């Protein structure tokens, strides 16, 4: 059978076109992920700079000022320094657990960003179980801390890992019950649906006003999940040297440092989405005057991102100032607060929410 040369050229060009389509499709899938990771990295650098500036003003110090304008490049300089430091491994520790622990802590938190909506159409994965996916994935992070503590072959590290696991279990339950109350109000577990349910009633439709008890419990539980003062028992320096990160150095120590700020940022973003109306700017008089919620296109998308991040970083002042204001709790006080106070309060809040929803049918 004789095949014409033009047919062969057409087949070759078609196969090249198909391969180019596959490459283009792969790039199109990876591009939003890379943009999100870049944005998260910049957000972490900004949080570190904000915390240092706010803590300096609280303690009447100068704070970072030499690395870049207003010291904004100080966190980047610290990261580069940790990158080039020697990474030591304990001679009698478990090398695999010691190395895997920090990676699990960071990756589990990074995956949670996939369900955060920065706008009405700006979400990596709009899942029907978005908020519960965050809770499920974030519960993996303490396993990484426990592996790090055990793999270090150090009693201080192991105690810090055990404390991290106990603290996470204690405060995840009230946190989940608060999220369940929000999903009952919104009739959905999707983060996009929760924001849109709040936008129907404007500023007074924010879940902050409809769930004030749940909001307070959620803040306390998220602070404990992030291991921020007064809940930083897993790395209490007066008792455990540095807790589960005692034996770490170099980039592995830097991963723990990044994970703590990633967790703080994701918690603040979820407070914005669940309680503060997300990307909707429904402040009375201001939104009507400027017609902010009616904008569309590129400007509307940019405005959605700006409003979401503005609410997030304004809320971040609470955990940052708390760190430099309140003293650390004892371990028994921390567990009593979680099991004896927050758990019954969140259960009662869920019961009230369920009852109100049933009565409104």
The per-residue pLDDT for 287 is 54
φ, ψ for residue 148, nearest 5 deg: -65, -45
Q: What is the mean pLDDT of the chain?
A: 83
Range 19-26 average pLDDT: 69
DSSP code of residue 328: P
The per-residue pLDDT for 337 is 92
The per-residue pLDDT for 328 is 84
Q: For residue 204, name the pLDDT band (cuts at 50, 70, 90).
A: confident
Cα 275 to its chain centre, rounded Å, is 15
DSSP code of residue 337: I
Range 91-108 average pLDDT: 86
The per-residue pLDDT for 243 is 77
The per-residue pLDDT for 176 is 92
The per-residue pLDDT for 293 is 55
Cβ of 6: how many Cβ atoms within 10 Å? 8
User: Percentage of residues in the chain with pLDDT exceeding 70?
Assistant: 88
The per-residue pLDDT for 125 is 82
The per-residue pLDDT for 221 is 92
Taking the whole predicted model, whether its pTM rises above 0.75 is answered as yes
H or E stretch at 360: none
Q: For residue 265, name the pLDDT band (cuts at 50, 70, 90).
A: very high
Range 81-104 average pLDDT: 85
Instruction: Single out the residue of 106, 95, 227, 103 nearest to residue 150, CA to CA.
Output: 95
**Contacts of residue 43, Cβ cutoff 8 Å, sequence gap at least 6:** 265, 309
* Radius of gyration from C-alpha coordinates of the chain: 24
Q: For residue 4, name the pLDDT band (cuts at 50, 70, 90).
A: low
Please write the tens of the pLDDT for every residue from 132-147.
Answer: 888 888 888 888 888 8
* pLDDT higher than 50, residue 298: yes
The per-residue pLDDT for 349 is 94
Residue with token string 């769930």:
211
Residue with token string 């915390």:
51
The per-residue pLDDT for 1 is 47
Burial letters 84-113, b for 16+ CB under 10 A, else e: eeeeeebeebbeebbbbbbebbbebbbbbb
Please write the tens of the pLDDT for every residue from 175-194.
Answer: 999 999 999 998 888 899 99
Contact between residue 225 and residue 171 where contact means Cβ atoms under 8 Å apart: yes
Cβ of 128: how many Cβ atoms within 10 Å? 10
Compute CA distances 128 → 36, 172, 181, 267, 293, whole Å. Answer: 21, 21, 16, 20, 25
H or E stretch at 43: helix 5-58
CA–CA separation, 277 vs 119, rounded Å? 11
Range 298-308 average pLDDT: 84
């Amino acid at each position: 059978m004789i095949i014409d040369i033009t047919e062969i050229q057409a087949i070759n060009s078609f196969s090249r076109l198909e391969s180019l389509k596959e490459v283009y499709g792969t790039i199109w899938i990876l591009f939003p992920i890379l943009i999100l990771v870049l944005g998260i990295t910049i957000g972490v650098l900004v949080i570190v700079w904000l915390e240092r500036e706010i803590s300096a003003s609280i303690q009447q110090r100068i704070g970072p000022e030499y690395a870049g304008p207003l010291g904004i490049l100080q966190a980047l300089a610290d990261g580069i320094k940790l990158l080039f430091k020697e990474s030591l491994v304990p001679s009698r520790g478990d090398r695999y657990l010691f190395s895997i622990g920090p990676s699990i802590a960071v990756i589990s938190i990074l995956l949670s960003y996939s369900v955060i909506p920065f706008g009405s159409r700006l979400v990596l994965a709009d899942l029907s179980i978005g908020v519960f996916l965050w809770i499920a994935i974030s519960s993996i992070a303490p396993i990484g801390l426990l592996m790090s503590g055990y793999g270090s072959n150090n009693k201080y590290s192991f105690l810090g890992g055990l404390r991290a696991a106990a603290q996470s279990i204690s405060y995840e339950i009230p946190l989940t019950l608060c999220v369940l109350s929000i999903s009952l109000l919104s009739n959905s577990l999707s983060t996009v649906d929760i924001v849109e349910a709040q936008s129907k009633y404007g500023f007074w439709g924010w879940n902050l006003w409809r769930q004030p008890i749940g909001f307070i419990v959620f803040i306390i539980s998220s602070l404990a999940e992030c291991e921020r003062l007064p809940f930083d028992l897993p790395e209490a320096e007066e008792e455990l040297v540095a807790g589960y990160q005692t034996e770490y150095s170099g980039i592995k120590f830097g991963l723990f440092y990044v994970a703590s700020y990633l967790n703080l940022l994701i918690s603040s973003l979820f407070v914005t989405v669940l309680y503060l109306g997300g990307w909707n700017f429904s402040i009375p008089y201001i939104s009507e005057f400027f017609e902010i919620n009616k904008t569309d296109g590129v400007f509307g998308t940019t405005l959605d991102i700006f409003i979401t991040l503005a609410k997030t970083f304004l809320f971040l002042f609470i955990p940052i100032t708390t760190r430099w204001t309140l003293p650390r709790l004892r371990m028994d006080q921390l567990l009593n607060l979680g099991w004896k106070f927050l758990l019954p309060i969140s259960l009662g809040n869920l019961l009230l929410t369920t009852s109100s929803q049933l009565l409104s049918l």
